[in-house]
A and B are shown apart, each in its own frame.
Chain A
Amino acid sequence: MAGFFQTPLGVLILWVLETLAILVPLLIGVAYATYAERKILAAIQLRKGPNVVGWWGLLQAFADAGKMLMKETIIPTGANRVLFLLAPMITFVLAMISWAVIPVNDGWAIAKINVGVLYLFAISSLGVYGIIIAGWASNSKYAFLGALRSAAQMVSYEVSIGFVMVSVLLCVGSLNLNDIVLAQRHIWFCIPLLPMFIVFFISGLAETNRSPFDLPEGESEIVAGFFVEYSAMAFALFFLGEYANMFLMSAMTSILFLGGWLAPFGIAPFTWLPGPIWFILKILLCMFVFIWVRGTFPRYRYDQLMRLGWKVFLPLSLFWLVLTAGFLMAMGWLPQGGA
């Protein structure tokens, strides 16, 4: 059997199986993230939330998916048909392919590439295309305004995310995600790099267009922003893509700052749980904070959003990057060599 998986066909089958093994749980997770979001928001607002479909409303997500499938896909007359349909696909695919490099446990990644962080950064910076193409192809003013807002926002916050990543990389000395997690064996980076951790998380909220930075959607001002013209499965793809991006941002936060699959302390009761469970728990914690933030903070005004990105986070992350580099240099703690 082990021999079979060495042959080209076997390798192909193995790839497909590995991909399914990460995508199927991810999609189920996404389905239940929508349920969790509604339940948690309901709890924050002292309501019950979905409780009709299935036990405690547990099948609500599937009922929603079924409803989306039944609906008619409406393409506006003035829309650019090809791009209009391509945009949700781009969003969804980009949200999925990033997971190829995420290590779930030591060496458990589909693609163990040396430039894993750069790959994640590259893919997340592409996410803006799905939105901007959707806004333009809809041929609608609200959609276009949403797309412009989103593009400006994502480009702004990417800069500080980049600096945060570089300061983590300085402490690791490698671009490989596996090495980044292993470098946190002694201390998670969220402790020495606490300000960067906060900047990264908030920028992650902005990057995924989540509340309080959900101006591209801004239902009270521009209806639903870039996907105002979308219906049925095209809409569902945007929706799934957004939640998958939240999962991805949570996974990135746990890998860069919360020690990935590592247990909080390397001692007995904590090490009983296997690595992937810890990783999932950390992702769920981040997801909870995402939803919690949504239930707590009002939406930013657009100029405040831009101010926060360019005038607060950018100088802060740049300063902290120089500080980190200088500190590592002065203490002689710079990681040598590496991949």
Chain B
Amino acid sequence: MITMIAFYVFAAILIASATLVVSARNPVHSVLFLILAFFNAAGLFLLSGAEFLAMILVIVYVGAVAVLFLFVVMMLDVNFVAMREGVQRYAPIGATIGLVLFVELLMVMGAWRYAPSVSVLRAAPAPANVSNTAALGELIYTHDILLFQLAGMVLLVAMIGAIVLTLRDRTISRRQVIARQVARRAETTLELVPMALDAGVPVPSFRRPLPEPVASPEPASHHGALHHGEEH
């Protein structure tokens, strides 16, 4: 009874927020409704006893992917009027894709009914005393380890591709090399010169390590500091 109510609540909010994702005027609101939709989908997973999938859905989609969406959408300078104009033009394509997806979903459901062999595949219950986390782990990491590795490789290639495409050599940026800073010692940096009173400073009393030959030219303020020392 309570499960029933929970199911309809989750499903209703899911459908409503999914509708609002495409119909909301403000793209930021769209993303927020998308997040709400993810949440309710996670709720549906929970109700069907897939607690691991529910949590992973929240962690991966809500906690990571949607944050990046939100990031991008918030920073975009979106022209709302221009976006509205596109709706008329792309509506038929969207409707077609939606229809195809809907029919396919119906066929998936129908297959359980009309093809007796399919229902055997559907019923792959986890053993009674194993939680679905353990069952899923067994399936992915033991039985289908090669496929899992392959999927990981595809993602790795995609990641490397994205880095290669966006990497550009920025010669002007100044990098902080912490190892070099830590390796600095007083002996190479600081020199104590015994001085008579009022004798002036013939040698600048402290110097910095020489810059690397490839690095950017020395900042002007450095020379200023040296001359400053001599003036005294």
Contact = CB atoms under 8 A, between A and B. Distances in A.
Interface of A: 83, 113-115, 118-119, 121-122, 125-126, 128-129, 132-133, 136, 144, 148, 151, 155, 158, 175, 303-304, 337-339
Interface string B67-89: 11011001100000000000000
Contacts of A339: 131, 133-134
Interface in B31-85: 32, 35, 51-52, 55-56, 58-59, 62-64, 67-68, 70-71, 74-75
B51 A148 contact: no
B28 A136 contact: yes
Contacts of B166: none
Interface in B127-177: 130-131, 133-134, 176
B133 A175 contact: yes
B134 A151 contact: no
* Pairs A-B, 8 closest by C-beta atoms: A125-B63, A118-B55, A122-B58, A122-B59, A339-B131, A115-B51, A114-B131, A115-B55
Given A158-B64, A337-B130, 5 more contacts: A115-B51, A115-B133, A121-B59, A132-B67, A175-B133
A291 to B, nearest CB: 27
Contact of A118 (B32, B59, B67): B59
17 contacts: A83-B32, A114-B131, A118-B59, A119-B55, A121-B59, A122-B63, A125-B62, A125-B64, A128-B67, A132-B71, A144-B74, A148-B71, A148-B75, A151-B71, A155-B64, A337-B130, A337-B134
Contacts of A119: 55
Interface in B160-200: 176
Size class of the B contact interface (CB-based, 8 Å): 20 to 34
B13 to A, nearest CB: 16
A115 B176 contact: no
Contacts of A114: 51, 131, 133
Interface string B100-140: 00000000000000000000000000000011011000000
A48 to B, nearest CB: 39
Question: Which of B35, B52, B133 has the most chain A CB atoms closer than 10 A to its own CB?
Answer: B133
A105 to B, nearest CB: 23
A133 B35 CA distance: 12
Question: Which of B28, B59, B75, B130 has the most chain A CB atoms closer than 10 A to its own CB?
Answer: B59
Contacts of B68: 155
Given A115-B133, A132-B70, A339-B134, A158 B63 contact: yes
A103 B32 CA distance: 32
Contacts of B131: 114, 339
A7 to B, nearest CB: 14
A136 B55 contact: no
Nearest to B52: A115
Contacts of B51: 113-115
Contacts of B56: 118
Contact of A136 (B35, B63, B74, B176): B74
A122 B55 contact: yes
A115 B35 CA distance: 21
Given A125-B64, A339-B134, A303 B176 contact: yes
A141 B101 CA distance: 42
Nearest to A127: B63
A133 B74 CA distance: 10
Contacts of B64: 125, 155, 158
Contacts of B75: 148
Contacts of B59: 118, 121-122, 125
A132 B59 CA distance: 17
